Structure 1
Amino acid sequence: MEPVSLLLNIIWILLGGALMAFGWLVAAVVMAITIIGLPWARAAFNIAAYTFMPFGSRAVRRDELTGQADVGTGAFGLIGNLIWLVLAGWWLALGHLITAATFAVTIIGIPFAWAHLKLAGIALWPIGKVIVPA
């Protein structure tokens, strides 16, 4: 990890990134408690790690990365994302949007606001995404 990314991640964690990652972990645990929610729990755990340290990484569609469609990027992924949106995605996205608006007030907070906006988009549609180094 580059020194700038490391510094931004440390500041991110101290300014509330750990709290948002905890929200993702809560969603993952709730989904994991129900056996039916295990596919969503896996996606939420992956994105919780990304939310904890977002600088130096990015989320991409799995089919764009591998060049092959799979269950998570096809019709079942669409259905899974719609269910996720109703059950947990909207409140995670709302948390990221509120936090982004708070950070956007200052010039120093703009990179953090931008990261929260990216995470809000992922919160709405996480299945079929993979986290890769930037």
Structure 2
Amino acid sequence: MIFLVNLLWFICGGFLAWLGWMLAGAALAITVVGLPWAFAAFRIAPFAAWPFGRTLVDARVVGEGRIVGTGLANVLWIIFAGFWLTLAHIVAGVSLCLTIIGIPFGLAHFKLAEVSWAPLGKRIVDR
């Protein structure tokens, strides 16, 4: 069932979400300053394409250490991009939740809103 919902998501917009995160990562990777956010964008792209059955957790939950400066980098991300990405995902999620058939896709947008707020230090795990 999760595969079918993921497939529908991918066809109806997940591909564009994946492409957006990949292009953002490529644009950030061109600049040396943007490399931390580029790695985060490349890590989030597969989650944006196939969000069902997986979740994002803090890296410390899976046993990884926190990189010094992650909090400051997330604050800069929130100021320059995170607020607007989160707002867009929340608006899309609420719009989709207004229809019965769109509720699962709306919930996926809420998951993407959460990671769009502060993507550094997150890891994708299967449920």
TM-score, with length taken from structure 2: 0.91
Q: Which one of 112, 118, 127 corresponds to residue 125 of structure 1?
A: 118
- Distance in 2 separating the partners of 1:45 and 1:99: 22
Letter in 1 for 2:65: A
Aligned length: 127
- Distance in 1 separating the partners of 2:20 and 2:75: 19
The corresponding residue for 1:58 is 55
Which residues of structure 1 form unaligned runs of 5+?
none
Most deviating of 36-45 and 12-21: 12-21
Most deviating of 79-88 and 114-123: 79-88
**Deviations for 1:69-123, whole angstroms, at most 9, x for unmatched residues?**
321xx5x110010111122222322331222122112112111101111110110
The corresponding residue for 1:49 is 46
Please tell me whether residue 19 in structure 1 is matched to residue 16 in structure 2: yes
- Distance in 2 separating the partners of 1:63 and 1:9: 27
SS in 2 for 1:92: helix
- Distance in 2 separating the partners of 1:97 and 1:18: 19
- Percent of residue pairs bearing the same amino acid type: 40
Q: Is contact 1:17-1:51 (8 Å) kept?
A: yes
User: Segments of 4+ in structure 1 off by > 4 A?
Assistant: none
Please tell me whether residue 5 in structure 1 is matched to residue 2 in structure 2: yes
